[in-house]
Structure 1
Amino acid sequence: MFGPDSQFHRFFDDPRWALAMVRATVLEAAHPQIGAALIDNSTFVAHPWRRLRNTLVSLQRMFGADEQVRQREAARLNRLHTRISGTDARNRPYDAMDPQVRAWVVATLFESAVTMCRLSGQPLDQATMERLYAEFRAFLAALGDQTGQLPPTLPEFWRYYDRMVEEELENTEALRIVLYKLFDHLPAPPLLGGLPTVWAAGRALAGPVIGTITVASLPEPFRRRAGLPEVPGARTLMQSAYLAAGLARFLPDDWLRTEDLTNLLYLSADSDDPRAATLGALSARVKRAGALFRLVTPFPAPRPPADRNAPRRSADEFFTAVLDQTGDGYLDWPDLAAMARELSSRLDLDEPQETRLYDAYAQWWRELQSALDTDGDGRVSKDEYAAAVPSLAGPALIRVAEVLFDATDADGDGFIDAEEYRALFRTAFARTPTGPDPRYPRGAFVQDFLSFMSGRRPSTPFDPLLADA
C-alpha cells in the first residue's frame, strides 16, 4: 500500500498532480468545518509556499516505505489536528480531529487523482482505481482513524461522494479565497523574490487561468448550488491544461521530481546550494529583461524588496510579515500557534519538546494579550500593536527563545552546531566564528532571536524562518 511500488507514489511526481492538489484543496475548503478551520488557523493565505512544502513533505512521509517514519508523522499530524478546534462565523463547531472531516480530506485526494487521469485522457482502469482507493483507505488507517469512515467498496464510495457534494459542501469564505484571491495575490517564492515585476506579470496571467480551470473541473451540482460562474470556453481550457500536463510524462524522470522542484523554489541568492550560483546568474539576466519589460507593459512596478541592511523596519511591516501568520490582519493565538507549528515541523520534534514549545508560545500570547489588547476583543490589531509596544522582549518571549534553543540543540551540549543550524534554518552555518569554536552559543542565539522578534530588525536566518511566504 505504501512505498515506491504504490500507485500514489507514481502520481506524486506527475505534473498533473499540481492541478489535482488545487482541486482537492477547493473541495476540502468547501466543507464547512474544514473551511472554518482554514480561515481561523491556516497560514495558506500569508505563507502559501511554506504551507505547500510542509504538505508535500508530510505526504512523502506518510506514503513512504519506512513504517517508523510513517508512524511518527501520523502522531505529529494527530497532535497538530488536536490543537485545531473552534466555531465558525455562524457559531457552528469545527474540530480537525472529527473522523468524518478527516475522511473527507482523504476522499478529495482520491477523487481528484481519478479525475485528473480522466481529464487528461488517461482514465484509470477498474483494477488500478481499486488499488488506489485501497491505498488511501490505508492512509486513513495509518492516521489511526477507522477505515469505515470511507465506504469499503468503490460503488459505495461514489454514492458517498455524490451525497457529500450535493448536501454538505458550501460556498465558504475559504473556498472563495482559494479561487479568487490566493492566486491573484500569491507572493513570489524565495527563488523569484528578486524579480517582483516578472512575478507580478506572470501571476496576473496565470492566476485567473488556474481559477477558471479549477472551477470548470468541480462537480457540476456543486458549481450550480454554489453559484460559481460558468466562463465560456472554460472546459476546453481545462481539458487542454490537463492534457498538456499529462504530456510532461515524456520528459526525463529527474526533471519532474516534486521534491527537487520544491527545493528549487526555496533557493535564495545567499544559499549555500551549488545551484544558487547558476540561478543567480540567470536571475541577473532576467532582471535586465524585466527592466525592458516594464518599459513596454502597463503593469505598475512593485515596491522593491526591503533593504536587509536597514537598521529597523516599521512596526506595520513587522506585524504583517512576522506576527500575522494567518494573514487576517490581526494577531491572536492561531498566529503564534502557526509559529510553533512551523518550528516543530522544521525540527521534527516529538513529545514532550513540541508541547514545551507550544506552551512557551501560549504563555507569550497571554502576555501579549494582557499588554496590547486594549479594546478587549481577544486579539491585537496593527494599531494596538504599534501604539502600545516599543518592545516585545518580555519574560515570556525570552522563554520562547530558550525553549527553541533547547529544541534545536539536539545533542544538549549547550551549542548549536552546523548540522543543528541547518535543521532549523535550512542553510549552512552562517555565523562568523570569533575564536577556535564556530558553534552558536545559547546566549548569542537568544539575543539574536529577541532582536529579531522584538527589535524588528531584519535577520538573514530568521526572516526565512517566519517571514517568507
Structure 2
Amino acid sequence: MTELVDKPEDIDAARDTAPDAAHDDALPLGPQSLVWRYFGDNRMYLIGPRPAVLQNMLAQLGQGVLDHSVFFDDTAARVKRSLPPIFNTVYGSDDDHPGTQVRDFHTEIKGTMAPEYGGGRYHALDPETYFWAHATFVDQVLYFADTFVKRLTRAEKEQIYLESKTWYRRYGVSDRVMPATYDDFERYWDKMIDEIVVAHPTAKYGVGYVTKGFPCPKGVPAWAWRLIAPVFNPVAAFLTTGGMPPRTRELLGLPWSERQERRYQRFAALWRSRPVNWVWDRLPMKVRYNGYAQKGYARA
C-alpha cells in the first residue's frame, strides 16, 4: 500500500476539488437507487460488525484507530460518532450532505506504523486507505442484500457499485484508486482479502467477544447483563463469525465449523424466503429503516 506523508500539499492532493460534479461513469443516489433501498435497512444488523472489522484489518487504518480513536475506551461512542455522517452522506441530497465534513474529520489522523507493519508514515487521507474504508461499506450493501434479502442479479450488483461511486465522490477524496467497474471492484476486493488484510490488534480487539463474551455495556446493570449475556453472547458470536469472509476468520482466529456454516446458511435462507420478505415489506417504514433513511425518503 502506498502512504501519504503528512504534508499539507499531500493532503490537498488527496482531495477532489469538485465532489458533487456529475460523472458519466456512475449512477445517482436517491429513492430509486439500490444503495438507498438496502444501506439503511434495519436487517443490516444480521451481518454483524463485518465492515468495521474488515476496515481495521487494513494495517494503516487499524493503526489510525489504535492511535487516535476512543474505540478501545468506549466502542459505542465511536460508533455513534462515526455512522450518522456516513448515513447522511448517502441519504442527503446532492447539494446537502456532510461528505466533505466526514473527510475533514480525518485530516489529523496520521502517524507512524508499528515496526511489524513496516514502520513508515500513514495518513487517513491516503486515497488507498480511505477507499478501503468505503469499499467495506459497498461490500456491506452487497453482502447484506445478497445474503439476507434476495439473491442479487449481476445487473443489480453492477448498479449498486455504480451508485457507490457517486457516494464515494461525495467525500471529496481523490478517486484515482476507485475501480472503474464492478468487475474491477471484485478483483480489487479479492486481492485485498486474499493478500493485503492482516490480523491487526484493532481488528482482533473488535471481535474479542466472540471467544471471551461481550462486556457489560455502559448503563446496563450488572444483574441485568448476567441474565442477558447467556443469550446475547452466542447470538453475537454466531452473526459476527458467520458474517466474515473465510480467510479473515482464519487470520483472526475465529472458531467456525462446517456445521456452523450450514446453520448460518439455513438462517440466511430463512430471511431471504418469500414469506419473511412479504411480512417485512408490509411493516411500517419506522420499523424497516433507520432514521437517516426515513428522513431521506421523506425529503425525496
TM range (shorter): 0.7 to 0.9
Q: Secondary structure at the match of 1:86?
A: strand
Note if 1:2 corresponds to 2:36. no
Note if 1:148 corresponds to 2:173. no
- Picking from 250, 255, 278, the partner of 2:287 is 255
Root-mean-square deviation (CA, aligned residues, Å) is: 2.7
- Picking from 238, 255, 261, the partner of 2:264 is 238
Structure 1 residues 105 and 133, CA, compared in 2 at 3 Å: closer, same or farther? Answer: same
Note if 1:205 corresponds to 2:208. no
Note if 1:168 corresponds to 2:193. no
Q: Secondary structure at the match of 2:138?
A: helix
In the alignment, the residues of structure 1 paired with residue 121 and residue 46 of structure 2 have an alpha-carbon distance, to the nearest angstrom, of 31
Give the partner amino acid of 1:35. G
Give the partner amino acid of 1:185. P
Structure 1 residues 217 and 20, CA, compared in 2 at 3 Å: closer, same or farther? Answer: closer
CA shift for structure 1 position 225? 4.7
Give the partner amino acid of 2:256. E
Structure 1 residues 205 and 42, CA, compared in 2 at 3 Å: closer, same or farther? Answer: farther
Q: Which residue of structure 2 aligns with residue 265 of structure 1?
A: none
Equivalent positions of 1:2-151 (< 5 A) are 2-20=29-47, 22-70=49-97, 73-90=98-115, 91-120=119-148, 122-151=150-179
Q: Which residue of structure 1 aligns with residue 243 of structure 2?
A: 217
Equivalent positions of 1:305-454 (< 5 A) are none
CA shift for structure 1 position 179? 0.9
- Give unpaired runs (5+ residues) of structure 1: 262-469
Is this contact kept in 2: 1:28–1:104, CA < 8 A?
Answer: yes
Is this contact kept in 2: 1:13–1:257, CA < 8 A?
Answer: yes
Is this contact kept in 2: 1:110–1:136, CA < 8 A?
Answer: yes
Is this contact kept in 2: 1:213–1:235, CA < 8 A?
Answer: no
Choose 162-171 or 144-153, whichever is displaced more: 144-153
Is this contact kept in 2: 1:184–1:203, CA < 8 A?
Answer: yes
CA shift for structure 1 position 200? 4.1
Give the partner amino acid of 1:170. V
Is this contact kept in 1: 2:216–2:225, CA < 8 A?
Answer: no
Note if 1:187 corresponds to 2:217. yes
Give the partner amino acid of 1:5. Q
Structure 1 residues 147 and 179, CA, compared in 2 at 3 Å: closer, same or farther? Answer: same
Q: Which of the two has higher C-alpha Rg?
A: 1
Give the partner amino acid of 1:30. M
Is this contact kept in 2: 1:34–1:101, CA < 8 A?
Answer: yes
Q: Secondary structure at the match of 2:30?
A: coil
Q: Secondary structure at the match of 1:137?
A: helix
In the alignment, the residues of structure 1 paired with residue 290 and residue 216 of structure 2 have an alpha-carbon distance, to the nearest angstrom, of 20
Choose 162-171 or 104-113, whichever is displaced more: 104-113
CA shift for structure 1 position 154? 1.3
CA shift for structure 1 position 3? 3.1
Give the partner amino acid of 2:107. T
Structure 1 residues 260 and 79, CA, compared in 2 at 3 Å: closer, same or farther? Answer: closer
In the alignment, the residues of structure 2 paired with residue 26 and residue 80 of structure 1 have an alpha-carbon distance, to the nearest angstrom, of 20
Is this contact kept in 1: 2:42–2:287, CA < 8 A?
Answer: no
Q: Secondary structure at the match of 2:96?
A: helix
Give the partner amino acid of 1:234. Q
In the alignment, the residues of structure 2 paired with residue 19 and residue 258 of structure 1 have an alpha-carbon distance, to the nearest angstrom, of 14
In the alignment, the residues of structure 1 paired with residue 125 and residue 67 of structure 2 have an alpha-carbon distance, to the nearest angstrom, of 15
In the alignment, the residues of structure 2 paired with residue 58 and residue 66 of structure 1 have an alpha-carbon distance, to the nearest angstrom, of 13
Question: Highest relative contact order (Cα 8 Å, sep 6+), 1 or 2?
Answer: 2
Identity %: 23
Is this contact kept in 2: 1:28–1:108, CA < 8 A?
Answer: yes
Equivalent positions of 1:232-311 (< 5 A) are 233-243=259-269, 247=276, 249-250=280-281, 251-259=283-291
Q: Secondary structure at the match of 2:114?
A: coil
**1:205-229: CA deviation from partner (whole Å, max 9, x where unpaired):** 3234323332233222333455443
Structure 1 residues 200 and 47, CA, compared in 2 at 3 Å: closer, same or farther? Answer: farther
Give the partner amino acid of 1:51. R
In the alignment, the residues of structure 2 paired with residue 126 and residue 45 of structure 1 have an alpha-carbon distance, to the nearest angstrom, of 39
In the alignment, the residues of structure 2 paired with residue 37 and residue 204 of structure 1 have an alpha-carbon distance, to the nearest angstrom, of 33
Give the partner amino acid of 2:104. R
CA shift for structure 1 position 241? 4.7
After TM superposition, the score normalised by the length of structure 1 is 0.49
Choose 77-86 or 115-124, whichever is displaced more: 115-124
- Give unpaired runs (5+ residues) of structure 2: 1-27, 294-300
In the alignment, the residues of structure 2 paired with residue 243 and residue 199 of structure 1 have an alpha-carbon distance, to the nearest angstrom, of 31
Is this contact kept in 2: 1:138–1:147, CA < 8 A?
Answer: no
CA shift for structure 1 position 258? 1.5
In the alignment, the residues of structure 2 paired with residue 181 and residue 215 of structure 1 have an alpha-carbon distance, to the nearest angstrom, of 11
In the alignment, the residues of structure 2 paired with residue 181 and residue 257 of structure 1 have an alpha-carbon distance, to the nearest angstrom, of 27
Is this contact kept in 1: 2:106–2:125, CA < 8 A?
Answer: yes
Is this contact kept in 1: 2:40–2:87, CA < 8 A?
Answer: no
Is this contact kept in 2: 1:120–1:239, CA < 8 A?
Answer: no
Structure 1 residues 119 and 241, CA, compared in 2 at 3 Å: closer, same or farther? Answer: same
Give the partner amino acid of 2:233. G
In the alignment, the residues of structure 1 paired with residue 263 and residue 113 of structure 2 have an alpha-carbon distance, to the nearest angstrom, of 35
Q: Which residue of structure 1 aligns with residue 21 of structure 2?
A: none
Is this contact kept in 2: 1:184–1:204, CA < 8 A?
Answer: no
Q: Secondary structure at the match of 1:148?
A: coil
Q: Secondary structure at the match of 1:94?
A: strand
- Picking from 187, 192, 195, the partner of 1:159 is 187
